[in-house]
């Protein structure tokens, strides 16, 4: 029978040297929601679901007006979530595929309000 090498580390000793991503506490940016009152939700709650969302935009017109705040409402499927580092100025965002379109676009969570979960 072969002898166990005395310098071989056990599996549990090796595993202790690694930090699992799920073990690291993360402060997720919440997304604004509206259903009879304002509340916030985890962006992962919407992954794979269709939502009706309001998005704030800044529009620029070819006249003497400055940028104008506008908002649009549309329905889209959430096909991804990107978590940013707020300390580094990177916002978290949802990857949205608007109904009737084949392309997706990342939209910063701070610009969104979920109005309704459709599916």
What digits encode the pLDDT tens for the residues 59-85?
888 777 778 889 999 999 999 999 988
Is the pLDDT assigned to residue 8 strictly greater than 60? no
**Residue 15 falls inside a structural domain:** no
Is the pLDDT assigned to residue 53 strictly greater than 70? yes
**Residue 99 falls inside a structural domain:** yes
Q: What confidence score (pLDDT) does residue 61 get? A: 80
**Residue 80 falls inside a structural domain:** yes
Distance CA 67, CA 89 (A): 22
Q: What percent of the chain has pLDDT over 90?
A: 39
**Residue 8 falls inside a structural domain:** no
All residues at 6 or more sequence positions from 40 whose CB lies less than 8 Å from its CB, including other chains = 30, 31, 32, 33
Pairing between strand 112-117 and 50-59? antiparallel
Q: What confidence score (pLDDT) does residue 36 get? A: 67
Structure-token match 């000793």, residue found:
13
Q: For the chain, how many structural domains are there in total? A: 1
**Residue 48 falls inside a structural domain:** yes
Most confident of 86-90, 95-99, 112-116: 95-99
**Residue 66 falls inside a structural domain:** yes
Q: Which domain holds residue 104?
A: 27-117
Q: What confidence score (pLDDT) does residue 5 get? A: 45
**Residue 18 falls inside a structural domain:** no
- Name the pTM for this structure: 0.68
Q: What confidence score (pLDDT) does residue 58 get? A: 85
């Amino acid at each position: 029978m072969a002898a166990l090498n005395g310098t071989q580390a056990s599996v549990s000793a090796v595993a202790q040297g690694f930090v699992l991503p799920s073990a690291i506490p993360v402060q997720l940016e919440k997304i604004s929601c509206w259903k009879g009152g304002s509340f916030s939700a985890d962006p992962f709650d919407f992954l794979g679901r269709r939502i009706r969302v309001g998005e704030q935009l800044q529009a620029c017109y070819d006249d003497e007006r400055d940028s104008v705040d506008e908002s649009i409402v549309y329905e889209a499927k959430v096909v991804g979530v990107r978590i940013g580092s707020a300390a580094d100025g990177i916002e978290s965002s949802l990857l949205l595929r608007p109904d009737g379109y084949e392309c997706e676009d990342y939209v910063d969570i701070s610009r969104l309000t979920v109005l309704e979960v459709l599916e």
